[in-house]
Amino acid sequence: MNGILKFFPLAVFALAGCTTVPKDLGRGDVDALAEHRGRISAAPDTDDARKELLAELTSKPLGADEAVRITLLNNGDLQASYARLGFGAADVYEAGRIRNPVVSAAVLDPDVAGAMNQVTLGLAASFTDLLTLPARKRLSTAAFAALEADIGADVMQTAAETESAWYGYAAAQQVEALRRQVALAAQLSARLAERYFEAGNINARELALERAAASEARIAALDASTKTQAARTRLALLLGLSSGAVWTVPGQLNLPLAQEDPLQELLDLAEASRLDLAAARAKADLLADQLGVVNWTRWLGDLEVGVERERETDGTRLTGPVIAWEIPIFTQNRDQQLRAEAGLKMAVAEVQALQNAVDNNVRQAHAEVQNARERVAEYREVLIPQRVETVARAQEELNYMLIGAFELLAIKQQEYSTYQNYLEAVRDYWQARSHLAMAVGRTLPSSQASTYLPIKTAELLQANPDQGLHSGHGGDSTTKPVMDHSKMNHADHSQHDNGEPK
């Protein structure tokens, strides 16, 4: 028995001390999960290095990838999500150890002259903790892995949201640039109209039409400016930066990619890549394992084993083992079993529901990309050329006094609105791809093997039916679109000669 008592403390300390807190609280594991799915989220080791990297990234115009990198470094909500790793690490630490041993002491006065006090010393530790230690380690490690996957899912979702916000801000800037150029052209046209009115070449109604057109163009430009600021604010919140800080995003969208990813390939990728699905499966496996542990420990009760040493009043010393066992008579921990069973059923149902949701989300997002792609093509290949042709023919009719200036202005406004709608359709396409990446749970394969062609606002305003919307990519002209009144008589005052803006 004495040999057993000597061995028991050594075994307790050996088993209790073999589990450590995960390295860097698991941050590196989460970063590896994100990097494997196309997102670089690794942060510098020190706060100074992180600030230096942020300063370097924001010192030049941010592309979508750079914006995502800043978000993963600096987004406050995401950093709070990373902090959850500390709670998981604490659970791993706790599960890898048994409760501290309990030391007891008692001193009893015999109330007999000449007799010594009776002194009792005891040391006891939970034998139940020792028996369940391997199972608790296994469960806590699995729970921590599920937590890492869960936080990784937050990383991937935030990255996709940032990418979508980047496209929103880039598009808003391009629309604002378009509207400002249109407003400038309308303002110049109104000023020229005033000179022709003073010379008696146009009447008051025609002058009012020009002024109204200039005012509407100015209002449209102001509205576009407001939307740009809102888009910048949304992106700034995700970046963890102030919208008033010095950082820029190129105000230029790219044309849709030449080819999209096949749906089935994306469905297969989502099955393997979605970290929230991986976390849900890990939790279901964990609860199944936990139920098995509950089933065999519910009859165990709390068992404490220790040693006690006692000195009697006559000086005799007694030493021996002590055992205390909670006998499972009135309760057999049936409540724990019921909770474990219910938790497992819920987890299995959640996995099934999430699998179905992932499948449907990928299909929906893929359909939205295809739809947006077709809308962009319809604008580029059909609607915009027809708008340009309509304006050109209307201008000719105005020159021959077949239509009035108001009709031409209305047609021209439709053309400008079509340009804006086209840019917004391109924005919708890229945002739809961001949503598809979110649904798949990783960056899309087509993003890595594609050539990007920019859309230039200047070329939109310069477009004509015989010259494609995107011809002349060599550079932008510095001239501005001007409504040319030089060929007007008193009726054809709305002649537009559209050059290319900056």
pLDDT at residue 283 above 50? yes
Q: What is the pLDDT of residue 263?
A: 96
CATH number of 2-462: 1.20.1600.10
* Distance from C-alpha of 219 to C-alpha of 180, rounded to nearest angstrom: 10
Q: CB 75: neighbour CB atoms within 10 A? A: 23
pLDDT > 90: percent of the chain: 45
CA–centroid distance for 157 within its chain:
3
Half-sphere exposure of 232 (CA within 13 A, CB side): 20
- What are the tens digits of pLDDT across the range 379-430? 999 999 999 899 889 888 888 888 877 788 888 888 888 999 999 999 999 9
Structure tokens of 74?
């600096």
* Distance from C-alpha of 238 to C-alpha of 79, rounded to nearest angstrom: 12
CA–centroid distance for 423 within its chain:
24
Q: What is the pLDDT of residue 450?
A: 62
Mean pLDDT of the chain: 83
- What are the tens digits of pLDDT across the range 335-345? 888 899 999 99
CB 455 within 8 A of CB 158: no
> How much is the pTM?
0.80
What is the rounded (10 degree) CA torsion for 55, 59, 65, 71?
40
In sequence order, what E strands does 47-163 have? 102-108, 118-126
Half-sphere exposure of 124 (CA within 13 A, CB side): 17
- Which of the listed ranges 48-57, 108-117, 424-433 does the model predict with the highest average pLDDT? 424-433
pLDDT at residue 12 above 60? no
Strand partners, 321: 307
- What are the tens digits of pLDDT across the range 319-378? 888 888 878 877 777 888 889 999 999 999 999 999 999 999 999 999 999 999 999 999
* Mean pLDDT confidence for 494-501: 34
- What are the tens digits of pLDDT across the range 58-109? 999 999 999 999 999 999 999 999 999 998 888 888 888 888 888 988 888 8
* Distance from C-alpha of 428 to C-alpha of 415, rounded to nearest angstrom: 20
Q: What is the pLDDT of residue 106?
A: 87
Domain ranges of the chain: 2-462
First to last CA, the chain: 94
Write out the H or E segment, with its range, that includes residue 138.
Answer: helix 127-198
31 or 474, which is more confident: 31
